[in-house]
Structure 1
Amino acid sequence: MKAILFLGTSLVSAQYLRQSVEALGLRPIFLLRINEYSGLPRRAIEACEYYEADVNSMDDTLYAIRQHNFMDSVAAVTSFLDETFQNVCAISDHFGVAGPDPALAQLTDKIITQKMIPEFCPPSMVFTLSDISEERLRFFLGSQKTCNTFVLKPGISSGAVGVFILNDDTTTEQITQLICHSQIEKAESRCWIIQPRISGHLYSLEGYVQHGQIFFLGFSKRIREGLTEIVNEFPANKSLPDYLQQRCYEAVKVLVQRSNYLNGYFHCEFIVNSETVYFIDGNVGRVAGASIVQQIALAYDKKPVDVIKHVIDLGLFKGINTSGFRYGTISKNQTLSISYCLPSPATVLGVTLPKNMTSFHTPIIDNG
């Protein structure tokens, strides 16, 4: 049986991937760091064929492929991690197997997407450590008259990895130290971006593109503790005024058109305040992470396995195997997901769930 190679997976989606892939007449192979997973996601991965690799490193990924020599059985390659899609596209081209929409090679980079639709984005300063100067930094920070805190982030990342908060008196030396200690591979040679830290709510517009036609599924509203997203409401359209929704729709439409993105899912992120919206991340190529795939399934009365199957088939095979799949109308007007954890390091002895619970529960660590 031919296989789909996954360069990593999100935690919640891991439990559904094997069944979704097998429904397409294929089997999954994973490349990842297995020690980055525990609980139910790890058990789901270990039930499949998997090999160790740092999938954020193209060199390490190619080394693992050569070492284990499995590409003859691979029909396609993809991922459920935003930051790996450039490597996914490169592997697809290198080995001549099916891969995601070629537009993803650029759309996973925050800097490129914001250059495509600057009219929807916050002011930005893009730099590498080799070309940043104190004069340029002072000019940019000083030009944002209504802002005294800023966000520093790499062009390619997800889950707030490598994101730092700056003050208006931050120096280039301090930025250099932050980047060099960010634990991001080749951080010193990457492109980085500084933007004003805009007050507002974090929304994500969920949907997909098929043959260039956009289908919007609804808005997610996310609540953060620090830089970590812990609560998500879906659909949250009712909490967002229509004129702000229309601005978000327009941003996604323009991005799809200018990038020539034809087939695949998206979860485009916006900071929303009472006056306007700011596009901050494209997040294209897969359904959103955390528990949002379960929320979409609940809201539309679908099974998560079937949603994941459509995500994979649309992204890799233009939806030819799921041509009859339709979301239809929303059957549940609101769902809620909560990522819960402890405030300090500890050993989890057990979790007691409410009786007669009708929700999904995904333990991502094991007791003990």
Structure 2
Amino acid sequence: MKTKIILIETSDIGARYTAEAVRRLGHEPVFLVNLANYQGDTLQQIKQFEHYQVDTTSIEAMLNFIRLQSWQIAAVTTFLDSRLHLAIQMAQALNVRGLDPALLPFKDKAAVCKLGESFSPPSVSFSKHDIPLAEIESLRKSFPSIILKPRCTAGGIGAREFAASEPISEILGHLNSLEIPNHLQPTEWMAQAFVQGELVSAEGYVKNGVTTILGFTGRRKVGNTESWCGFPYEARMPVLSLADAQSKVVNLMDATGIQNAFFHIELMINAESAYIIDANLGRMGGGGIGEMFASSFGVTPSDIFVEVLKVTLFPEKEMSIFWESAPQVSISVNYGIAREATLLSVTPVTISSEIFSTRILDAGSIAPAMGTNNWAWIGIVGGLEAEVLQCLRDLRLMTDVGCLPVCFALPDASGL
């Protein structure tokens, strides 16, 4: 009987690819999930593999369920920020392979700030029960605006920019207006200087203590919704800020003491400098980044997920040589509609083997307007740039208010 690898929840595109990767490594995948969190292709993919409905926000609930089974477990992992600490704790409790325990402190964004000033813009970390108003006001006087964000969430949950001219009462109101799940430590917050510039991300991994930067992704949003991502992006970055970004990422990973992990580190860059604004340590980037890597390196998405599992669970295994090839320019686009409506159907006019397409929402679901938040996606399309853009131009989104044009971001504009 093959041993099992426990997968706590899944990314939007990752269910099938992760399960295939687990099998290629000689194990059987088992998903612990809350099915109510999924729709579309993601839900259908989960259902193709062994899966169980469990409260994945509770380490006790997951352990109690697993201890009722007669499984031989090889490892526990996740591809979600919100479950990283739980996956580590569960692997430790079961005495099996898991994500690097050195990742645990860095679920809290304040931990990166504590490593040194070079790893974060000026910041104030605090609890809602003890708000340092004087420190926050001092920060606001020094910068045109600040960003207020929860310290243990991902995907921009709860983050909001405040201009220096806005009254402190607006900040206090924001702190008390959000409902953040308890497992994401809703009382812990950070006020950080808002850095102007272009948003990019460093994609890579650390294996046996050695950091490898695979490259940088360019990022674009529609309002508050992540939309366009392009890789590799180094050719579009200023030479000085690229060098600064590379240096800071390597120095950060060295400072963390993490030995084996993928990372997706967000930076703001200008003509000369780079500023780390959010270090997502322990996972590959979300959205369609895994598919984008596959297109860039000429492999399958399952190949990419095998490599992630090697680094994070089986670091004694050798990495594939495809990482050494020169990547082609690929993109991944999260698309939606410009106004809220009920989705009736999505009809692709162009079908191509050169692209990856994942539907996130089911027919009959309300699609928020793009720009509202990071849950406004109807779907994700990834692959080589020309093919993806043609697919997006041809999409037909039928809603209760008629056929609406697809809405997404491009490097220099929004696509409609």
Tell me the TM-score normalised to structure 1 length: 0.91
Q: Give the Cα–Cα distance (whole angstroms) in 2 for the partners of residues 19 and 347 of structure 1.
A: 30
- The correspondence of residues 78-97 of structure 1 with structure 2, limited to 5 A, is 78-97=77-96
Kept after mapping to 1: 8 A contact 2:125/2:190: yes
Structure 1 ranges of 4+ moved more than 6 A: none
Greater strand share, structure number: 2
Q: Give the Cα–Cα distance (whole angstroms) in 2 for the partners of residues 66 and 225 of structure 1.
A: 42
Question: Per the alignment, do residues 49 and 170 of structure 1 end up closer, same or farther by CA in structure 2, a change over 3 Å counting?
Answer: farther
SS at match of 1:350: strand
Question: Per the alignment, do residues 296 and 135 of structure 1 end up closer, same or farther by CA in structure 2, a change over 3 Å counting?
Answer: same
Question: Per the alignment, do residues 323 and 275 of structure 1 end up closer, same or farther by CA in structure 2, a change over 3 Å counting?
Answer: closer
Q: Which residue of 1 aligns with 2:256?
A: 259
Q: Which residue of 2 aligns with 1:157?
A: 153
Q: Which residue of 2 aligns with 1:197?
A: 194
Kept after mapping to 1: 8 A contact 2:40/2:361: yes
Which runs of 5 or more structure 2 residues have no equivalent in the other structure?
365-416
- In the TM superposition, residue 325 of structure 1 has moved relative to its aligned partner by 4.7
Q: Give the Cα–Cα distance (whole angstroms) in 2 for the partners of residues 244 and 231 of structure 1.
A: 21
Residue deviations 1:154-193, cap 9 Å, x none? 1111111121222325556544442333221237763211
SS at match of 2:75: strand
Of the three residues 327, 338, 345, the one matched with 2:341 is 345
> Which residue identity lines up with residue 307 of structure 2 in the other structure?
H
Question: Per the alignment, do residues 81 and 89 of structure 1 end up closer, same or farther by CA in structure 2, a change over 3 Å counting?
Answer: same
SS at match of 2:12: coil
SS at match of 1:347: strand
Q: Give the Cα–Cα distance (whole angstroms) in 2 for the partners of residues 188 and 204 of structure 1.
A: 25
Kept after mapping to 2: 8 A contact 1:4/1:74: yes
Q: Give the Cα–Cα distance (whole angstroms) in 1 for the partners of residues 284 and 186 of structure 2.
A: 29
**After alignment, is 182-191 or 71-80 more displaced?**
182-191
Q: Give the Cα–Cα distance (whole angstroms) in 1 for the partners of residues 127 and 103 of structure 2.
A: 22
Kept after mapping to 2: 8 A contact 1:82/1:157: yes
Q: Give the Cα–Cα distance (whole angstroms) in 2 for the partners of residues 133 and 210 of structure 1.
A: 39
Q: Which residue of 2 aligns with 1:63?
A: 61
Identity of aligned residues (%): 27
Q: Which residue of 2 aligns with 1:317?
A: 314
- In the TM superposition, residue 203 of structure 1 has moved relative to its aligned partner by 0.3
Which protein has greater RCO, CA pairs closer than 8 Å, 6+ apart?
A: 1
Q: Give the Cα–Cα distance (whole angstroms) in 2 for the partners of residues 221 and 213 of structure 1.
A: 24
Residue deviations 1:47-96, cap 9 Å, x none? 222223443x3xx2421431452374322111101232112211122221
| RMSD of equivalent CA atoms | 2.1
Question: Per the alignment, do residues 226 and 102 of structure 1 end up closer, same or farther by CA in structure 2, a change over 3 Å counting?
Answer: same
The alignment status of 1:285 with 2:282, answered yes or no, reads yes
> Which residue identity lines up with residue 282 of structure 1 in the other structure?
A
- In the TM superposition, residue 128 of structure 1 has moved relative to its aligned partner by 0.4
> Which residue identity lines up with residue 72 of structure 2 in the other structure?
S
> Which residue identity lines up with residue 82 of structure 1 in the other structure?
D
Question: Per the alignment, do residues 297 and 171 of structure 1 end up closer, same or farther by CA in structure 2, a change over 3 Å counting?
Answer: same
Q: Which residue of 1 aligns with 2:4?
A: 3
> Which residue identity lines up with residue 324 of structure 2 in the other structure?
G
- The correspondence of residues 321-336 of structure 1 with structure 2, limited to 5 A, is 322-332=318-328, 334-336=329-331
Q: Give the Cα–Cα distance (whole angstroms) in 1 for the partners of residues 185 and 59 of structure 2.
A: 21
Q: Give the Cα–Cα distance (whole angstroms) in 1 for the partners of residues 89 and 304 of structure 2.
A: 26
Kept after mapping to 1: 8 A contact 2:76/2:96: yes
Kept after mapping to 1: 8 A contact 2:8/2:31: yes
Kept after mapping to 2: 8 A contact 1:154/1:191: yes
Q: Give the Cα–Cα distance (whole angstroms) in 1 for the partners of residues 34 and 172 of structure 2.
A: 28
Kept after mapping to 1: 8 A contact 2:200/2:216: yes
Q: Which residue of 1 aligns with 2:219?
A: 222
Q: Which residue of 1 aligns with 2:38?
A: 37
Q: Which residue of 1 aligns with 2:51?
A: 50
- In the TM superposition, residue 357 of structure 1 has moved relative to its aligned partner by 6.1
The alignment status of 1:178 with 2:174, answered yes or no, reads yes
- In the TM superposition, residue 349 of structure 1 has moved relative to its aligned partner by 1.7
Of the three residues 351, 358, 362, the one matched with 2:358 is 362
Q: Give the Cα–Cα distance (whole angstroms) in 1 for the partners of residues 160 and 195 of structure 2.
A: 14
SS at match of 2:218: strand
Question: Per the alignment, do residues 80 and 349 of structure 1 end up closer, same or farther by CA in structure 2, a change over 3 Å counting?
Answer: same
Q: Give the Cα–Cα distance (whole angstroms) in 1 for the partners of residues 276 and 112 of structure 2.
A: 10
Q: Give the Cα–Cα distance (whole angstroms) in 2 for the partners of residues 30 and 340 of structure 1.
A: 27
> Which residue identity lines up with residue 25 of structure 2 in the other structure?
L
Question: Per the alignment, do residues 307 and 188 of structure 1 end up closer, same or farther by CA in structure 2, a change over 3 Å counting?
Answer: closer
Kept after mapping to 1: 8 A contact 2:307/2:319: no
Q: Give the Cα–Cα distance (whole angstroms) in 2 for the partners of residues 62 and 325 of structure 1.
A: 40
Kept after mapping to 2: 8 A contact 1:14/1:45: yes
Question: Per the alignment, do residues 70 and 326 of structure 1 end up closer, same or farther by CA in structure 2, a change over 3 Å counting?
Answer: farther
Kept after mapping to 2: 8 A contact 1:223/1:232: yes
Question: Per the alignment, do residues 355 and 89 of structure 1 end up closer, same or farther by CA in structure 2, a change over 3 Å counting?
Answer: closer
Which runs of 5 or more structure 1 residues have no equivalent in the other structure?
none
Tell me the TM-score normalised to structure 2 length: 0.81
Q: Give the Cα–Cα distance (whole angstroms) in 2 for the partners of residues 5 and 345 of structure 1.
A: 37
Q: Which residue of 2 aligns with 1:239?
A: 236
Q: Which residue of 1 aligns with 2:16?
A: 15
> Which residue identity lines up with residue 131 of structure 1 in the other structure?
D
- In the TM superposition, residue 235 of structure 1 has moved relative to its aligned partner by 0.6
Question: Per the alignment, do residues 205 and 18 of structure 1 end up closer, same or farther by CA in structure 2, a change over 3 Å counting?
Answer: same
